Amino acid sequence: MDRSLPTHRGPAHTRRAFPRTLPQRRRDLLASGAVTRWRLDRSYVTVASGLVVPRSSLPEDVRLFGRFPADAVTRARAHVMNNPGAVVGEWGAAALHGLWTDWPDWPDSAATVLLADRGSKGSSNSRAAARLPLRPVFRRLPHGLPVTRPDPHFPALQVVDPATTAAQCLWSILRGRHSWPHQRLPGINDRVHRAVQFVDAFTQCTRLTHEDIGAASADRVDARTVAEVLDMCDYGAQSPMETTLRLIVAPLLPAGLAWESQVREEAEGRTLPGGTVPDLACRELRVALYYDGGHHDSLEQRETDLQLTQAMMNDGWEVCRFTRHGIRSTARVLRTVGEALHRAVQRLAGH
């Protein structure tokens, strides 16, 4: 059964741009005379058995892919070319549904899992699979599995539907099959932290709800763990570091108040000064938090950020901004936000 790809919830930068270059068979390139063997060996990268892409079509920094030769989408295309009729699952499916994160990119360093009418073969543990980087991992194709065809450049490519993909990836994270470097937080299990980051990111690039993910995970992952993860998730986090910032500051608010993501209006409904959109805010206390990723490094953007911060402060807001480096100190974040909240409470109390 085919299902169309849902439109995505988040802005464009939360969604993967698919590579336009498709894998080609090495023997066909040689037979065509389009390239010499010398050029093929030096200017092309083997991404699956017998299949290559131009080296120029891949990023120069090969660390992006862990020990795999190419991004998750390119590898999925190549492996399906070698295994027609197979369905892409797990992290390859997540990439094909648009999952993309800044360094590191989670699907690109994970095994390609194919569901096919054959026996299981290979380990889906990313570290184990990376020892055989040109081979896919095979799992048996369940009867009646819902699939979609999301790749505009490879429309025959079949992928498990978004809800099943989310359940498979959650299982992979919570079982320790796939991981990535992240900031350790006191009181939060590392795998749970990664699972929350994944759900936040995947609900940005799809329109899945937490209820969709919970229902799809029922037969795959411990229900209490899934409930714990989903209770910590938020539809507004537009980067993994925004998720981490929210988890750090979650315990700081007084009882009865909550952080809101991507806040555009004051409590009274007025647009915030300059149209700014805090990544997290408590409108009742008028405290706004921003995570400034790499695109905030330019001189022009820093000047804009400074002006917006000043406008917010002039309007009576407490403003805290964190860079990708500054957020690494959990203690510093807690102290900075805690002091801002204290000032906000004192101001509202008339002190």
**Residues facing residue 253 across a β-bridge:** none
Tokens of 127: 């570290």
Residue 139: strand pairing partners: 115
Phi/psi at 130 (5° precision): -65, -15
Instruction: Write out pLDDT tens, residues 268-286.
Output: 888 999 999 999 999 999 9
Please compute the mean of the pLDDT values over residues 214-233 and round it to a whole number. Answer: 96
Show me where the domains of the chain are located: 12-231, 240-348
For residues 84 and 143, give the distance between their C-alpha atoms in angstroms, rounded to a whole number.
17
Contact 182, 194 (CB under 8 A): yes
pTM comes to 0.94
Average pLDDT over residues 156-167: 98
Q: Please, which residues have CB within 8 angstroms of residue 11's CB and are 6 or more apart in sequence?
A: 238
CA-based nearest residue to 235, from 244, 227, 243: 243
State how far Cα 155 lies from the chain centre.
23
Burial code of 320-331, b = ≥16 C-beta within 10 A, e = fewer?
Answer: bbbebeebeebe
Average confidence (pLDDT) over 183-193: 96
Collapsing DSSP to helix, strand or coil, 133 comes out as coil
Please state which of the four CATH numbers 3.10.50, 2.30.30, 3.40.960, 1.25.40 is assigned to the domain occupying 240-348.
3.40.960
Average pLDDT over every residue of 81-102: 96
What was the pLDDT predicted at 300?
Answer: 78
Whole-Å CA distances, 218 to 46, 168, 197, 250, 348: 38, 11, 20, 27, 45
Q: State the average pLDDT over residues 200-218.
A: 97
Mean predicted lDDT score pLDDT of the chain: 93
Find, among 159, 233, 161, the residue nearest to 196 by Cα.
Answer: 233
